Structure 1
Amino acid sequence: MDLYKVKNELLSGKSIFDIKLNVVFYARVSTDTKEQSLSLDNQIKYFEDFIKSNKNWVYKGRYVDEAVSGTSVKKRQNFLKMIDDAKENKFDLILTKEISRFSRNTLDSIKYTQNLLKCSVGVYFMSDNINTLMPDSELRLTIMSAIAQDEVRRISERVKFGLKQSVKDGKMLGSAPFGYEKKNGILTIKYEEAIIVKRVFDYYIKGLGLRAISNKLSKENIVNKNKKPFTYSSLRNIISNPKYKGFSCTNKYYSTDFKYGKKLKTPSDEWIIKKDKNIPLIIPENTWNRANDILNERGKNFKDNKSSYQNRYFFSGKVVCKEHKTSYHRVMFGKNEALKCKEARNGCENVSIYKSELEFILNDVYKTIKQNKLKIADYLDRKNESSKNKETLIFKKEKLFELVLDSLISKSEFKERKEKIEKELTNIKENVFIKSDFLNDDFNNFKSTSYVKLKKCEIEKTANTSAKICIYLSLGSTSTQCVSLHETGISQAQVSRLEKSAIDRMKKYI
């Protein structure tokens, strides 16, 4: 579609229905109830008939998402497919019922309609009578999207209020755990399942491990509510669930943003666990506590043993073949120790590497990090400042929408301020503080680094006697920060010691 030509035709008085266009439609329903399904069927029939009845339009298909929320596009596969198809110029115009069907998030609505316009694709919101090919569409779209977003907020507040009231009334939220059933929101014991729960706790306290219990139940054809065998994780959840001792657990998750419906797990020390008269106990409290003491102690021992096992040899489990994702193991080439892919016996042709070569490379990498520490710290200071400025600008941009809704600024002032903010955001994006091949954005908290620890070396064959190594490090006072260094290319030495030319060659790539 010639976007410039179409816009001129619209400005000259032509209707969107008078222009020859390839047209699709987008429809969405948020639940899979019978009523919503019927609504979706009606939408599909209406749009197909509407597009085909226009002699200037060519029907190019439909994009439909069922039982998904409109607050975020991440789970709407067909919506995202529509955006991808638009980039390939498969159609010129998208019809949709209203803005809330497209997105209930103001910024998402604006972002995607702008991106579609860059692909010369317009969107026509029929109920709202907004055509993004028209000059005044952005302001109207902003206002209507903000209204749709505010409706989501109000719905979210009503749902939260309803859930809190249900808890006050003694009703349980969510599905009933194994051993219970829920009737009118009230938990009652399901005795045939409760017997199995008691057996699990009894086995565990007597010293049987979770996998052994799983095998024992499986041999007896005992299954869970979904008619599937009990797994290690499902049995662990049974042992750790406080409901079995008559306690409720709340505040396990918190919402980060009602617009996107994101939830994160709260740290366990912030969970609210208390005795609940509405939950009938299956396991005595002292038995539950004893089982969980064993569970926590075994978990601690497993971590300690795992750490001890991995530390018995420096490169154990850390050198990996990129092709097969398997670890390298030690081999001897004469008197020289080397590392080789475990899949070599099955035909893997990835290169072997002498231990001395790898130690040399890592030694130089550590030196380079130490020498560049101050430079990196300065870079991070500037980067953090830039991130804060970016967040402030985004907040200001969102506030502009509220000012427009409250009629506190004019259209021209809205446009002027918006353009100024977008220009500043572009400047931040394009500003590069340090032009260094060594740095990347993963070097957070580098200033507090007290050690550098090897996490993984990934080896990829590039030629008969050449390899490329990706080195991943953990930096800082704890080993939770994983840092990906740029790829390091080396030549595979086929000698027992590194010659000077090989050393120079390695230094060139580090």
Structure 2
Amino acid sequence: MSNIKTAANVTLIPAKEQANSVFTGKKLKVAAYCRVSTDETEQMNSFGVQIAYYTDYIGSRPDWQMIGIFADEGISGTQTENRTQFNRMIELCRKGRIDLILCKSISRFARNTVDCLDFVRELKRLNVAVQFEKENINTLSVSSEFAITLYASFAQAESESISRNITWGIEKSFKEGNVRYQMRYTLGYRLVDGVPQIIEDEAVIVREIFSLFAGGMSLRKIAERLTSEGAARRNGSTVWNRDHVNSILKNEKYVGDAILQKYYTVDCLTHTCAKNNGQKPKYLVQNCHAPIIDRETWDRVQLELSRRSAMTKGNARGGRYRTEYALSELLVCGSCGCNYKRVLWKSGTGKRAVWRCKSTLDGGKARCDSPSLHEEALHSAIVRAINEQILDSSGFDRQSALSADTLESENADLERRIASVSARLGEIEVERNRLLADISAIPADVLGSKLKLLHTEEQELKSKLDELNSKRDSGRHDLYRIKAARNLTHGIEALGEFDNDLVRQVVEEITVKSADKVVVKFCGGEKVTVKV
């Protein structure tokens, strides 16, 4: 009873005493909601106990009418959109078919504070009470929202803490090299007792893709070829596109490796996942299962992917990577260094293919006074140069062997320098951690100065490491091409006509010197001057 005195002309009409704010003398339509957030056996037993408890409890009250037990198994409480039974229960409340909801605790109702308050407020507007047994809160009471906000915040904080612990455990497992395989969409493999097993019928397709790409074929042409052959993808479809081929070429599983933490959870409440583009560390586990592709082929294809990507972005002599014509990437102007481009000239009643310097096409003779070459004559000259190497391969062998020895020596030196820089980066990390561990014993200005010096040296070394890795990769690519070209010239007969794929594999560059002379440089370093 209030102690506030009323005015002389005011008569107090006291409130009616009620056992419960939702009781109206008629039977209450009561439902219960229960949930467990994992599918472990122990939790499932708890889940069954909850259902049995509420069934008996509601049935024992003569003033209550059982509407139903709504239960979600193995569903996280941080989001409501995937909780089918929860959403069904809320919909019945909106239709006026439920007066009271029983729930074990706020954390069972929702671990997301915003969701919890939104639903509690909506139900309150509908005059539907939620009774949280653990916290002893009825949402229709005047002071309930403040308490619910506190408890819901605690539940959300607990969820975030659990998420951090799980994330820490997963990352620790990654560091130890424990691979959790997902092979559902990986052509060529099936999981047997958690271990990837090669499916040979599919592995043949994978090897064909790598072989065709290493041989110079474009992603689009490989896709067209696989489609025409009726090769089946992992989902059974026989229709291929360049993205399907590209994803296979970049999948490290085919060389027996696994990259862990390619994706990470951005928000444990919304369960939003994002691709890991450097926001989190990744972990490469090598030789963890049977490979379909050998290491040398894999490395060669990755280098070729990088090379084509650079050309596509216009980083190579002003040109773009073209696979339809090998000369688009090989034919270079001896005057300005730009690539030549194929154009069609009208000739009588038809058209004739001609190769012209890209600078001349863009800016005219004032920019580059280079000659135009007819395709037929140019092809014939290149075929003669290749046949010369095939018929008398001793010079080519000597030069390619010398070039290979030089590249191997340079690559070995680069490996030593890379190892040295990597070791120093590791020392910097240890030194920084030692300084931070002794932070209380070091004056702030001294600590800041030392950390700044370490950071500056670290950035310089990282830049140097990127440069060394790039040089090593370029050297590896050249070495692969030299060995492949040498093997190829020993295994074929003299050419009868121009072959784009073969030219791409054995020729490194063709320089236009004049209207009737080009220099063909082979992958082994051997140069042949031929008349056009």
> Shorter-chain-normalised TM-score: which range?
0.3 to 0.5
When the two structures are superposed, what TM-score results if normalisation uses the length of structure 1? Answer: 0.47
- Larger Cα Rg: Structure 1 or Structure 2? 2
